[in-house]
Chains A and B, each alone.
Chain A
């Protein structure tokens, strides 16, 4: 039971990170029907910017952890957003209105470009960051069983994720920006005729996705303490899986999918051979796609007439 609780806690914190990345996939897919394969790299860049941020703040002597965290969070979101914006502007917008495959290939190219760019500019070796947030709560330790650890960092990850998701859900559901995003998703031409600057709305969608990916990058840097230029690939694929599992195009779907993928991974690693955890994750994806092709919360595709 204790062991189960421990895996549950680990799974939720991992799932929160996947969910943050998955939102970027699902929003972009929802609005322009394209899979942004460079999104994993955006997350990787967010992790690197966070790392550089922490090191810089260290050199400037800002060692008060909460302050450093907030500064790095803002910096990472800001700079990663610029990357997200620039990628859309350079690699996707010129191809809008071309065949559907073109931006997809462009995205794969962009992903390779970013990986190599970071590899060359930052080096290929793994980058460590000493743990900044230590300690935590120990639950059920008195009865002599397995001690369940709930670290402060895990609490932070879950709290930040929930806060951001609440804010995002509000923006999408209630603000003019979110309304324009949903309108653009449903009928781009008609949105334009209602005075919506569609190009800008699409840019902002990329910016929002990138900002969330940056937060995920920061959390991973803190959680694992090591990053390299290659982390974007597997995390990107898993977050994409999460988005598909939840129903691509659906925001709550991405959140649920991320959480599920995190839990599946944690529980598989806890009870079965850890080497097969990715196999387990992707097998579940295959099963869902066979029995529920639109994902758990996705709507069936309606042919536009």
Chain B
């Protein structure tokens, strides 16, 4: 069991998501803490993305409770909220395994859509926006500043006016994170952000994620297949297999957890392997995956 001195941010209790007779997530419970990177790992089909879909309102869980308590905000029960309210009020942002940008809009506009909530509020259904009232112009300037800040952080300033769909793959990934950050999230869910990146881009991305945790003090949930990334940057690792929780520990603890090794390598011979050998095997398997 993982313990943290930081305040709990996300508490998932008895979460189940059933599709027909199949439990994609089965009685899952864990806690993710603020200002920490919580990695969610597991073999393909373990229910990681389903978990994200439950968190962000794509799916209504069959059973269970998902509570989010951000500092200075009331407690939100995400399983009861509409998708846009989860983003707007509970402030959960997410990125996708297959990138989802607004491809026809410019890079800058993508970041402005991320700030829709304060902008729309200030524009009063476009009336103030049409008339160019002061309150709206101030908010617009503030939003542009935020957008420029994240453009700068993700190295996309030069491409600000290009259509998002025309960016190279790695830049699109960074833009997606920038847009998520523009919503000022309390919890950032990253679904395989390093997929398809070359080693150099992947390293930059790790640094960006670490910096975000450091500077913004928000909680980050990270689905990742690359074990070297998981072991380097995460504070806390949750391992799923067939929809159930099989380990919940810090990276070092997970690495030598027999259940985890079984899930990744199969059950046949390795049950009796000494821990060191198993850990070694685990590392090799992880390398093969990335």
Contacts and interface: CB of A to CB of B under 8 A. Distances in A.
Q: Do A and B come from one complex?
A: yes
Interface of A: 167, 170-171, 174-180, 182-183, 186-187, 189-198, 204, 305
B130 A167 contact: yes
A195 B88 contact: yes
B100 A194 contact: no
Given A175-B129, A177-B126, A179-B116, A197 B102 contact: no
A93 B61 CA distance: 23
B88 A190 contact: no
A194 B58 CA distance: 13
Interface string B73-103: 0000000000110011000011000101111
A191 B112 CA distance: 11
Interface in B105-157: 105, 109, 112-114, 116-117, 119-120, 122-123, 125-126, 129-130
A68 to B, nearest CB: 25
Given A193-B93, A194-B179, A194-B183, A186 B123 contact: no
A193 B98 CA distance: 15
A301 B93 CA distance: 29
Given A176-B120, A180-B113, A190 B126 contact: no
Contact of B112 (A179, A190, A197): A179
Given A171-B126, A174-B129, 16 more contacts: A170-B130, A171-B129, A176-B123, A177-B120, A177-B123, A178-B126, A183-B102, A183-B116, A190-B100, A190-B101, A192-B83, A192-B84, A193-B93, A194-B116, A195-B87, A195-B88
Contacts of B94: 193
Contacts of A167: 130
B45 interface: no
Contacts of A170: 130
Contacts of B116: 176, 179-180, 183, 194-196
Contacts of A187: 100-102
20 contacts: A171-B130, A174-B129, A176-B116, A177-B123, A178-B126, A179-B105, A179-B112, A179-B116, A182-B104, A182-B109, A183-B105, A190-B100, A190-B102, A192-B57, A192-B87, A193-B56, A193-B87, A194-B116, A195-B114, A196-B84
Given A170-B130, A175-B129, A183-B105, A196 B113 contact: yes
Given A177-B126, A190-B100, A195 B105 contact: no
Shortest Cβ-Cβ A-B pairs, 6 listed: A195-B88, A175-B129, A176-B119, A195-B87, A177-B126, A175-B126
A194 B87 contact: yes
Contacts of B117: 195
B26 to A, nearest CB: 25
Interface residues of B, number: 32
Interface of B: 56-58, 83-84, 87-88, 93-94, 98, 100-105, 109, 112-114, 116-117, 119-120, 122-123, 125-126, 129-130, 179, 183
A180 B125 CA distance: 11
B123 A198 contact: no
Contact of B125 (A177, A189, A195): A177
A198 B105 CA distance: 17
Most buried by A among B88, B98, B122: B88
A150 to B, nearest CB: 31
Contacts of A194: 87, 113-114, 116, 179, 183
Contacts of B119: 176, 179
Residue from the set B98, B120, B123, B130 with the largest chain A CB neighbour count within 10 Å: B120
Nearest to A183: B113
Contacts of A191: 102, 113
A176 B104 CA distance: 16
A294 B247 CA distance: 54
Contacts of A189: 58, 83, 100
In this complex, the member of B57, B93, B125, B183 whose beta carbon has the largest number of chain A beta carbons within 10 angstroms is: B125
B265 to A, nearest CB: 33
A305 B57 CA distance: 22
B81 to A, nearest CB: 12
A175 B183 contact: no
A192 B129 CA distance: 22
A220 B130 CA distance: 28
B104 A186 contact: yes
A53 B83 CA distance: 42
A204 B120 CA distance: 13
A195 B56 CA distance: 11
Contacts of B87: 192-195
B5 to A, nearest CB: 31
A175 B114 contact: no
A191 B183 CA distance: 12
